[in-house]
Structure 1
Amino acid sequence: MMKASATLTIGRKTMIGTLLGAVSLGMIGSTAHAVSVPDHIRVALFLDLSSKYQALTPAVTLSSAGGMKLTWNGAAIATVNAGKSVRFAVDGYRAIILETDDLAAATSVLKTVQRSTNAALLIRLSKNGKTVYQVTEGNYANAAAAAAAVAKWTNAGVAAGVKSLSAPVVAGPWAVEAGPYANEAAAAAAVASFGALGLDAFVSQKLTGSTPSYYVRIGQASDASALAELKNKAASVGVPILIPDASAAYVVLRNDLTASGTPDAAVPLYALSASAKLLAAPVNAGNGILVTERSKRTYRGNMELSVLNGDLALVNDVPLEQYLYSVVGSEVPGSWPLETQKAQAVAARSYAVFSGTGFQIADVVDTTLSQTYNGIGAENANSVAGVNATAGEVLTYEGKVIDAVFSSNAGGVTADNATEIWGSSTPYLASAAQSPDAGPQEGKLEWYKVALSDGEIGYVRSDYLVYSGAKNEAGIPLYASTGDGVSVRPSPQTAGAGANPIAKLYKNDQVVVLDKVLEYTNYNWVETFTADQLANSINKRAKSKIGSLQTLEVSQRGLSGRVSEIKANGVPVDVGVPDNLRGALGSLKSTLFDIEETGRFSVVGANGAQKNFPTEGSASSLQIQGASGAAVTAGSSNLFVLNGDGELRAATTDPEFVITGKGFGHGLGMSQWGAKGLADQGYDYQSILQYYYKNVKIEKDGGE
């Protein structure tokens, strides 16, 4: 770990020389119009990339204050009125848990199922001359998986005691069809006729050539074997019934009561086949489209609905510069200097252009897996100004747009990709550089790490303790509380997971001070783990499992001081690339850290023999001899020992680990807090970018 004194502050004179050296290597685009920057970008929402491209939501609800147009293959299929919602899902395999004519009962079952999953729907349809309600769950890959779900919900008794019109069953995408019909009204009238026979029937649309036409889709069968019987029964209506080509694209229109729960407040639900693709566009572009399931955020541009790997896919097709309004506003505070906004805009634009179609059907995603994009609500005047002032500008290296990665806070020094993060040699991400990242500490007080009278260890803000003038029996100074109800916290912070008090101090209560530390921020932080917590976390990510964790130590560091290898119980832990250590060690903020092993210490006995803890392969314990000569066995509570220099240290008989570190994120490329620090010192965005990305040029879109 690099010393704080080397990274906390960087003087203006020192930085000037460093920046001039960086700028001289790559001045602003001397080759005009050398690159091409696209006008639009495709942003995938809801994608889970842990194993394959999978959606995180089974249904999407869209609306727009000015109304929307739905199109398929460029042809209009529906108009959604201002402020009204429309939903989309996949016409796949589902569990029909309940079919009843009792709406209240159906709503109750729906709510029960929703406690366990977000894949439950309440659909209204007409059968046998009455209105009925189906509670369905899931979008499953096949009929067998849906059948297992039917059994699960049946065994759980979620619909027990409810009047049901049919037994729980698997619903699937197999159906017969009638049509085409002249319009939606004609198709809806035909639906009523088929429903009177007790059949599940819905208005649908499919392409005739390149034009959408209205049909009626009859049945929700789980396989093709049911189609002949469905066809014969539906034919009694007196119209031709066809078994459609299974590969033909279609959408089914259902009446969705999931959100409203009232009979006359149904929301149109378009269930898409595997090859269907719809586009929702706001009538007034200035209104944007609200996505209910994405925290009710509103987005510029259009929304494309399709099916990817059997799941619903939602892609926001938006002008690149307008996308950046939100990215910059999401990534850095609007109160930060304009030059920081500009630097972020160019970095984000470069990253987006470099990505290409990196996500199969999209260029980027809306999370930090790419860069944060929270829609129109994240925009602010400064983010818009920063994007507009740098319109079309990207960073290039040897004529190609770079992968301009960035992180929140480099902890005072940027990372080296080859030795510390992802293990690749990227020239413009190779050199570690000092970074003025200490901004999160501004205005923050220091904290005391203290030991309470019962042996508990915690943190107290420094303005709540004063030296009492007294010492304990071991000659250790005692500090006293200056007020009543002073919180002792497990971490030096007043907000967050580590902020809940573990004890309270009252005026003149005395404690022993073990250390004085900075407040927990994205620049400086501390985390404490038990051996079991870290062992479980490591075993989820390491290629070889570890047993009981006794020791954990840093065994290798890279150029910036970031940890590139750790050893558990003396054996290197293989988690792949070094940056994966963050996740393997309980989701640390960065890999710029030190490990303190509180259970690791040596004791010299009265006979001069040295004993090392933890003692591997032995159950021997630590015996402590008191002033009376009696020996006691140290328990599981904290120990407080003096080292050879007379410094007091907290130790534990069981292995525990205190990890202290700096920074937030991988630390490659531009540090956002560092960019702010440079802008505060008067540097422009070009100098900031060319400091963090080595030997690059800033070039303008060749299309302008």
Structure 2
Amino acid sequence: MIHRKANRTTSRYIAACLLVLILLSGSARITAYAAVNVPDTIRVGLFLNLPSRNFTSLTPAATMQSTAGLSIAWRDPQFTAAIGSAAPGETVRFAMDAYRAIVLETADLNGAIATLKKVQTSSSAAFLTKLTKAGKPVYQVSEGIYSTSAAAGTALTKWKSAGAANGVAALAAPKVGGPWSLESGPYGSLNDAQAAADQIGVAGLDAFPAVKVVNGAPAFYVRIGQEADAAGASALQPAAAAAGGLNVRVPAAGDPYALVRQDMTLSGAAGAPSFLYAIPANAGVVLRAEPAGDGTIQLTERSKRFYRGAMEMSVLANSLAVVNEVNFEQYLYSVVGAEVGSGWPPEAQKAQAVAARSYAVASGTGFQIANVVDTTLSQAYNGVGSENANSTAGVNATAGEVLTFEGKVVSAVFSSNSGGVTADNKTEVWGSDTGYLAGGISSPDDGPQAGLLDWYDVALASGQRGYVRSDLLADAGRNAAGIPVMTVTADSTAVRVRPKVESSADPIARLSAGTIVYPIKKVLENTAYSWVEVPSSPEDLLASLNKYVKVTGPLQTLEVTGRGPSGRVTQVTANGIPLVLKSPDSWRSALGGARSTLLSIEETGRMSVLGENGTTRELPKEAGSLQILGADGASRSADGQNVFVMDASGQARVVTPKPSFILSVKGYGHGLGMSQYGAKKLAEQGNDYRYILQYYYKNVMIEKDADA
């Protein structure tokens, strides 16, 4: 009975399903999406020359070491071949084999170091190289990584004129060095190539071991000469052959190689030279440094940070490129740790992990040889130093999870603080329309203000203007003119340039108890939620604006004349002329680096003056002196000093004799997508990461990588 009943029930269920399918097939089509895929690794650009992507991060050399030791490999699309190694704690360097100014060649190491230090005072691309000539060590000081011989020649002239090598006994005249060389070999090992280079150096020739890969295996050679052109290299051939060079020849143009120099730039007189691998600009050489086991790599030129994974060095746009290839989830350990506080709630950590993972997957190869970069142009990535237990837990708890919209992983952009309301992408940020980045979402972003006191924007009797914390002032009513006044309650009270205690900025003044000040308005303390800038001069703002849009100076007036749905700036008018930028979010940069476009501009020099004849004059547009009539009937000039005035509505303000502009901002960042501080507050209110993500990103699904 039970068995037959089960069969009947199953049959009815199948029939019902078939009926539903028939009905659906006749009325709508079901869209099926492929499973999402999160790559195992990600490539992070640390040094790249990509001005078209607003990322220009340059270094003449990359210096690395690992406590686990490093393996150095040559990487081709077809194969990877080991070409060297560095012992635990041993430094290895990478640079371009390019044109440079060889400022000095000497046998005097101390003299070479002194010259190096002189060059380093005005150049970050100074090198000290050791080589052997006539059986003795010789030291060359060179400067620059130049793309042309002419540019290196100009630099050489400068260093000679500056007397960089004065007082040091030179073995050869300064010259332009370049990547043009002869080739000798092959030799059995790098040590054999070094011995051959020393032998060729007996004839006074510059000779360095080099490595390249032939048929998938490393091969070792000697590069002879560092000449500015092909003719200079060819002229060395008889002397190189006579010095014992093996199969000396002119290598083909574009032949790939890695020169191995003994570099003493960092070690000085006390330390041993480091291997420096120099690669040519146009040969497509890629070198890879990888630590043993779970070791990390320290990169000196990136603030001595430590990184998981491997480093790849190549040349992009005539500049050394350094890319960190790292496990995707381990990359997120650092990103989440850098983007949100370690003490933030676990659900906020998880929300950040999913958003960051989605953003990185959606980036593709947005930076040619890298998926993302390590700055907030993509998302902050500072290596293992940013990792913490909570960020790692948030990443691990959401492993492989991403946000999708219509079957595609979304570019889940986020900002620090949206100032209470998220931005509209189409009208207020980048001008595009997406179905998941909805603007106008109320965001609980005021968390940074918790426990902080308000400040007063005040004017002093001297006419100066600044900020005093509210607990240091007491209400004293109004003066005879009806203007509100307050008294200072403590000696040595600081008047600050911003509403925040900052050790980097000295107070405008210090006031004794009982001093009278004139409150203009009450403001929040500067945080990621609310920020008031110091007054900007018209000259500084004009220079900033002219990087984005042409404004004819001098800058006299500047006002917001267009706002989007969330209140963010879409248009600014300068000197009466409306200005529109390609991208509304560019107003952050155009206005001198404003933290957000949810802002207002106070024009301190602007006012309408009613004259004794009943005419109105607009300052600063109309010139002329300003006279004030006192209660005693006498007039005095107000030129050259701040004026404390009351407008028609009874609001007091300070007017400056020259135009200046004060920006008051809500939020921090573009305001699009998830607000990190808003996510923190939502988590504190008991919401999980899924709710947070779907609160900020509309119509999205949270899907998991098929292989996770």
TM above 0.5, yes or no, is: yes
For 1:173, which of 176, 179, 194 is the aligned residue? 179
Q: Is residue 488 from structure 1 mapped to residue 495 from structure 2 by the alignment?
A: yes
Shift of 1:532: 1.3
- In the TM superposition, 1:43-58 aligns within 5 A as 43-51=44-52, 55-58=57-60
Range moving further from structure 2, 407-416 or 546-555: 546-555
- In the TM superposition, 1:306-321 aligns within 5 A as 306-321=314-329
The SS at the match of 2:343 is: coil
For 1:305, which of 300, 313, 316 is the aligned residue? 313
Cα separation, 2, equivalents of 1:51 and 1:58: 20
Q: Gaps (5+ residues) in structure 2?
A: 1-30
CA contact (8 A) 2:487 2:517 kept: yes
Q: How far does the alpha carbon of each residue in 1:548-606 deviate from its partner, in whole angstroms, 9 at most, with x for none?
A: 11111111111111001101011122332111111111100000011111111112233
Cα separation, 2, equivalents of 1:337 and 1:621: 59
Cα separation, 2, equivalents of 1:214 and 1:206: 7
For 2:547, which of 527, 540, 557 is the aligned residue? 540
Cα separation, 2, equivalents of 1:100 and 1:366: 41
Query: What is residue 194 of structure 2 aligned with on the other side?
Result: 188
For CA contacts below 8 A with separation 6 or more, give which structure has more relative contact order: 1
Cα separation, 2, equivalents of 1:452 and 1:579: 36
Shift of 1:470: 6.3
Counterpart amino acid of 1:635? D
The SS at the match of 2:520 is: strand
Q: Is residue 214 from structure 1 mapped to residue 216 from structure 2 by the alignment?
A: no
Q: How far does the alpha carbon of each residue in 1:106-157 deviate from its partner, in whole angstroms, 9 at most, with x for none?
A: 1122112212121111111112332221111111111111111111222222
Shift of 1:54: 5.1
Return the TM-score normalized by structure 2.
0.92
CA contact (8 A) 1:33 1:700 kept: no
Shift of 1:471: 4.6
- In the TM superposition, 1:65-104 aligns within 5 A as 65-73=67-75, 74-104=80-110
CA contact (8 A) 2:60 2:145 kept: yes
Counterpart amino acid of 1:377? G
CA contact (8 A) 1:431 1:694 kept: no
Structure number, greater radius of gyration: 2
Q: How far does the alpha carbon of each residue in 1:131-184 deviate from its partner, in whole angstroms, 9 at most, with x for none?
A: 221111111111111111111222222223332222221111100011111112
Range moving further from structure 2, 676-685 or 121-130: 121-130
Q: How far does the alpha carbon of each residue in 1:662-685 deviate from its partner, in whole angstroms, 9 at most, with x for none?
A: 000000000000100110111110
Counterpart amino acid of 2:72? L
Q: Is residue 670 from structure 1 mapped to residue 674 from structure 2 by the alignment?
A: yes
The SS at the match of 1:108 is: helix
For 1:152, which of 143, 153, 158 is the aligned residue? 158
Cα separation, 2, equivalents of 1:496 and 1:50: 35
The SS at the match of 2:213 is: strand
CA contact (8 A) 1:55 1:311 kept: no
CA contact (8 A) 1:493 1:519 kept: yes
Shift of 1:367: 0.6
Shift of 1:83: 1.1
Query: How many residues are aligned here?
Result: 669
For 1:240, which of 241, 247, 250 is the aligned residue? 247
Cα separation, 2, equivalents of 1:674 and 1:149: 52
CA contact (8 A) 1:54 1:308 kept: no
Q: Is residue 610 from structure 1 mapped to residue 619 from structure 2 by the alignment?
A: no
CA contact (8 A) 1:637 1:653 kept: yes
Counterpart amino acid of 1:474? A
Q: How far does the alpha carbon of each residue in 1:390-422 deviate from its partner, in whole angstroms, 9 at most, with x for none?
A: 111110110001111100000000000000011
Shift of 1:105: 1.8
The SS at the match of 1:189 is: helix
The SS at the match of 2:546 is: helix
Q: Is residue 362 from structure 1 mapped to residue 363 from structure 2 by the alignment?
A: no
- In the TM superposition, 1:531-680 aligns within 5 A as 531-542=538-549, 544-616=550-622, 619-680=623-684
The SS at the match of 2:235 is: helix
CA contact (8 A) 2:601 2:664 kept: yes
Shift of 1:480: 2.2
CA contact (8 A) 1:32 1:700 kept: no
Q: How far does the alpha carbon of each residue in 1:275-321 deviate from its partner, in whole angstroms, 9 at most, with x for none?
A: 21111111122x21111111111111111111111211111111101
Cα separation, 2, equivalents of 1:646 and 1:688: 44
Range moving further from structure 2, 582-591 or 64-73: 64-73
Cα separation, 2, equivalents of 1:145 and 1:43: 31
CA contact (8 A) 1:54 1:309 kept: no
Counterpart amino acid of 1:432? G
Counterpart amino acid of 1:562? R
CA contact (8 A) 1:124 1:131 kept: yes
Query: What is residue 282 of structure 1 aligned with on the other side?
Result: 291
Counterpart amino acid of 2:336? V
CA contact (8 A) 1:203 1:254 kept: yes
The SS at the match of 1:342 is: helix
Shift of 1:500: 2.5
Counterpart amino acid of 2:682? L
The SS at the match of 2:51 is: coil
Range moving further from structure 2, 252-261 or 236-245: 236-245
Q: How far does the alpha carbon of each residue in 1:164-214 deviate from its partner, in whole angstroms, 9 at most, with x for none?
A: 222221111100011111112211111111111111111111122221111
Counterpart amino acid of 2:47? F
Distance 1:163 1:635, change over 3 A: farther
- In the TM superposition, 1:496-507 aligns within 5 A as 499-507=505-513
The SS at the match of 1:699 is: strand
Query: What is residue 261 of structure 2 aligned with on the other side?
Result: 254
Cα separation, 1, equivalents of 2:363 and 2:110: 49
CA contact (8 A) 2:419 2:530 kept: yes
Distance 1:567 1:470, change over 3 A: closer
Query: What is residue 704 of structure 2 aligned with on the other side?
Result: 700
Query: What is residue 688 of structure 1 aligned with on the other side?
Result: 692
Q: Is residue 59 from structure 1 mapped to residue 66 from structure 2 by the alignment?
A: no
Cα separation, 2, equivalents of 1:237 and 1:50: 46
Counterpart amino acid of 1:283? A
Shift of 1:330: 0.7
Range moving further from structure 2, 120-129 or 658-667: 120-129
Q: Gaps (5+ residues) in structure 1?
A: 1-29
Cα separation, 2, equivalents of 1:627 and 1:675: 56
Query: What is residue 386 of structure 2 aligned with on the other side?
Result: 378
Cα separation, 1, equivalents of 2:266 and 2:452: 45
Shift of 1:31: 7.7
CA contact (8 A) 1:121 1:137 kept: yes
Shift of 1:658: 1.4
Cα separation, 1, equivalents of 2:409 and 2:201: 58
- In the TM superposition, 1:449-460 aligns within 5 A as 449-460=457-468
Distance 1:386 1:475, change over 3 A: same
Query: What is residue 21 of structure 1 aligned with on the other side?
Result: none
Cα separation, 2, equivalents of 1:312 and 1:454: 55
Shift of 1:702: 1.9
Query: What is residue 35 of structure 1 aligned with on the other side?
Result: 36
The SS at the match of 1:541 is: coil
Q: Is residue 424 from structure 1 mapped to residue 432 from structure 2 by the alignment?
A: yes
Query: What is residue 228 of structure 1 aligned with on the other side?
Result: 234
Shift of 1:389: 0.7
Distance 1:532 1:496, change over 3 A: farther
Query: What is residue 441 of structure 1 aligned with on the other side?
Result: 449
Cα separation, 2, equivalents of 1:525 and 1:185: 61
Range moving further from structure 2, 355-364 or 180-189: 180-189
Shift of 1:101: 1.6
The SS at the match of 2:269 is: coil
Cα separation, 2, equivalents of 1:352 and 1:277: 24
Range moving further from structure 2, 217-226 or 122-131: 122-131
